[in-house]
Amino acid sequence: MKYTLDGKRVCEMADNMFKNQTPMLNLWQTLADNFYPERTDFRYHAALGRELADATVDSYPILARRDLGNSFHAMLRDGKWFEITTGQDTEPNRDSKMWLTWATERQFRVMHHREAGFTRAVKQGDHDFATFGNTVISIEPNRQYNGIVFRNWHLRDCAWEDDEKGQVETVARKWDPTLHQLVQIFGEDKLPQALKTKYQKNPHQTTRVYHLVVPAVLSQNDKWIGKFQYVSYFVLKEGQEMLQEQGINYKYYIVPRFQTIAGSPYAYSPATVAALPDARTLQAMTYTLLEAAERYARPPIVATQNVVQGVLDLRPNGITWVDNEYDERLGAALRPIQQDKGGFPIGSSERGRVYEIMSKAFYLDSLSLPLDTKEMTAYEVQQRMTEFRRTNLPLFAPLEEDYNGQICEATFDLLMMMGGLGRTDEIPQELQGQDVEFKYKSPLTADEQEEKVNRFQQTSMLLAEAANLDQGVIDNLDFDTAFRDAIEGMNAPIEWLRPEEEISQIRQARLMQQTAQMQAAAETQSGEAA
């Protein structure tokens, strides 16, 4: 008898995945306490309105994490940050390019629609990524099936496993919706009788639901194998009853990972791993310096016994009464303890050194170009940008492929499944059956397109100088290919370029017209000569 996934086996699989995830919660809680106080609820569910970062003395670790998390969106998703291309070796024709351009615009509008929640989801995910090295984002159709919804999920509620290639394969999520939400999503008929009764009495009562997304081959069900890539299961934990079993052809959850290590499906953030010891040291150091500064501002008071009347009043403008018969020649009745302040500059210097180390740990020292007051030549600017890209590419290039790449590919697959990119027969014949690739645009990669324009301009200037000596050198350059590449490098609309077949027809007609004019001129000249 063939094994298939039912409600009981789905719950067992999810429980086992969360059991393997449990050791990570302690690390994530520690990292959140030091760098991300808004997420300090891994080991417990914190109450709303609680005071955040109440045990923190120095906020620099939080600010450093905030700056790194914000830089991901600023560097990688500014403007029209992606373009759909194909993986074929040959350059697609004009019709194919026009469809790819249209598909890019269509997908961009869907992703950035207000109700899609894309920006909010990835901004939340960016800070999880910077702090914990992992983030989980779901991509799913909206309830009306006319758009897409992006949501970021708490790492505490998600667990995943790798396949044989080291890629995230199976994802489980635990969810505590209200009964009203379950009815809105799945319908009241899907609820067991016990929950229907509870729903009638209290629709806002919550219950635990497991969501498991597995490759179709793991379902061991011929109903899905060969027809879908993944199978989505929603199962009630109480009673282990199936709410929904559905085949899908897109990756429901994407799990970008910062730095992975062999043998673990969970990644780490190299920023917080390096900065955690310094963050702990900084809190202790800052507390000591603040305490020392307070002692300097309000030093301890020595009082002569049996001379002070009442209690010492150490408040600002406070008055402490002294026996009027006391002889001050015996020494002041009240006097501050003399303290050595020589250690304070050393503590401040060490604190500054920790700031510098944490800035490097979070890559903040390389995220912005150094200011230069002197006027730079175009070559100097180009070299400065080259150095900037060389420094930051090791950080951002993997994010483009693993983070943005997964989002764009899953969104494209979902749009194709929903018919959001038109019918399949509307795709140009040249593109059908081709793999889709995404090209990303950012300050780190913009120079690749700009370089085509610069090289065309430099080549044109060099060719003009050489043509003054010998007109034959013009024949060395394929002006059509060079000019079209330069226009595309400027990101000009593809509609600006005529199809190559149309250009051939225009040139053929022009050549025929010129030939006819020459023949007419020759006949006129012959007649005049006669």
pLDDT of amino acid 492: 67
pLDDT of amino acid 413: 93
Burial label, 116 (beta-carbon count in 10 A; 0-12, 13-18, 19+): buried
The average pLDDT across 404-410 equals 94
Q: Say whether pLDDT at 31 is over 70.
A: yes
Higher pLDDT, 479 or 15: 15
- Residue 228 makes CB contacts below 8 A (sequence gap 6+) with 216, 247, 248, 249
For the ranges 146-160, 360-374, 498-512, the maximum mean pLDDT occurs at 146-160
pLDDT of amino acid 369: 61
Q: How far apart are the first and last CA of the chain?
A: 104
**What digits encode the pLDDT tens for the residues 56-67?**
899 999 999 999
How many Å apart are CA 110 and CA 420, to the nearest integer? 9
Residue 345 contacts residue 253 (beta carbons within 8 Å)? no
How far is C-alpha 340 from the geometric centre of its chain's CA atoms? 50
How many Å apart are CA 310 and CA 139, to the nearest integer? 71
How many Å apart are CA 430 and CA 94, to the nearest integer? 11
User: What's the whole-number average pLDDT of the chain?
Assistant: 85
Q: Say whether pLDDT at 448 is over 60.
A: no
pLDDT of amino acid 378: 62
The CA-atom distances, in angstroms, between 191 and each of 9, 175, 186, 240, 496 are: 19, 16, 8, 12, 57
For the chain, percent of residues with pLDDT exceeding 90 = 45
**What digits encode the pLDDT tens for the residues 480-503?**
777 777 776 666 666 667 777 777
In eight-state DSSP terms, residue 227 is T
pLDDT of amino acid 473: 75
3-state secondary structure of 181: helix
pLDDT of amino acid 472: 75
- Kindly indicate the confidence band of residue 291, based on its pLDDT and cuts at 50, 70 and 90: confident
> Per 3-state DSSP, what percentage of the chain is helix, strand, and coil (rounded to 5)?
50, 15, 35
- Residue 176 makes CB contacts below 8 A (sequence gap 6+) with 206, 207, 208, 209
pLDDT of amino acid 1: 46
Higher pLDDT, 222 or 338: 222
pLDDT of amino acid 317: 64
pLDDT of amino acid 459: 78
The average pLDDT across 159-171 equals 94
- Kindly indicate the confidence band of residue 246, based on its pLDDT and cuts at 50, 70 and 90: very high
The CA-atom distances, in angstroms, between 243 and each of 110, 187, 283, 306 are: 29, 9, 48, 81
The average pLDDT across 131-156 equals 95
